[in-house]
Amino acid sequence: MSFWHKKRVVVTGGAGFLGSVVVSRLEAKGCKKIFVPRSKEYDLLDRGAIKSLLNKTKPDIIIHLAASVGGIGANRDNPGKFFYDNLIMGVELMEQSRILNVPKFVALGTICAYPKFTKVPFKEDDLWEGYPEETNAPYGLAKKMLLVQAQSYREQYGFNAIYLLPVNLYGPGDNFSPKSSHVIPALIKKCIDAIDKKESVVEVWGTGRASREFLYVDDAAEGIIIAAEKYNKPDPVNIGAGFEITIKELAEKIVELTGFKGKITWDRSKPDGQPRRCLDTQRAVKEFGFKAKTTFEEGLKKTIEWYRLNKHAR
């Protein structure tokens, strides 16, 4: 019988980009009792709402994916909101879960928690070697406090909380809003919109020299679910694809795959963000056998196709 068959699971953020894929995969694995709290009914910034949620659902596992998040621009414009929302949601949810003896809590961190200048590839043991990149430090530090909380609760209360560090995600259903999107959906939208409008230039923030690693959303969902099944230790675990690409190379690849024939220009007055990002993924392989399966080009093609089919509905 499936591990998930009789489990009661709460997935915060389960209607979002990553969460909807996690929920679909849980259903495919035989999970019959999945509860996705919606913000209108359960405000995760409110302790009373969290208590009500947990008393109603009595979960065996909480997968905490809900977050206030965005790209460099959104982080720069909302440092206080991103810090407060992400810290309070996670801290209160984990505290009330501990009080009500929830058997397992899966906390999602972020690659933004790593120091600005971290040896590449990033190893989990390097998390405390310095301060995060300034534009997303409030978000990254708020999320990193959930690791401290998880480890201290395990030590004092025997609370089974695990902490996963996913790299930047992308895929069908991503956020394509110009105000808050990350780099892949932003570039796809710019190129396809330029094609539609017969424009000859697409502008991109920064110098193009910064590097990033990207994980296809289906692979991320699979890694989270496998960890929820099999991992029960205090050490944080990277969830990534294990490769690195510069923003310039990324822009050129998206230009190629979308068929945009114009020119890319770089707005060097805008920030690059963290200089390099690439995760060491060996702990996930060793501890619970997770390895990303989707090639980057395959994932980009699927994401571009999804946007072409859905752009007018957004």
The catalytic site residues sit at 139
> Cα(130)–Cα(153) distance, rounded to whole angstroms?
24
Buried b (16+ CB within 10 A) or exposed e, 148-169: ebbbebbeeeebbbbbbbbbbb
Question: If you search the block for the tokens 């190129």, which residue do you land on?
Answer: 191
* 150, 234 Cβ separation under 8 angstroms: yes
> Cα(4)–Cα(194) distance, rounded to whole angstroms?
45
Q: Is 279 exposed, middle or buried, given 0-12, 13-18 or 19+ CB atoms closer than 10 A? A: buried
Q: Which residues contact 303 (CB under 8 A, 6 or more apart)?
A: 170, 171, 172, 174, 184, 185, 188
> Cα(136)–Cα(191) distance, rounded to whole angstroms?
26
Q: If phi over 0 gives left and psi between -120 and 50 gives alpha, with beta otherwise, what is residue 200?
A: alpha
Q: To 10 degrees, what angle do helices 296-310 and 183-197 make?
A: 50
Which tokens hold the place of 53?
Answer: 């949620």
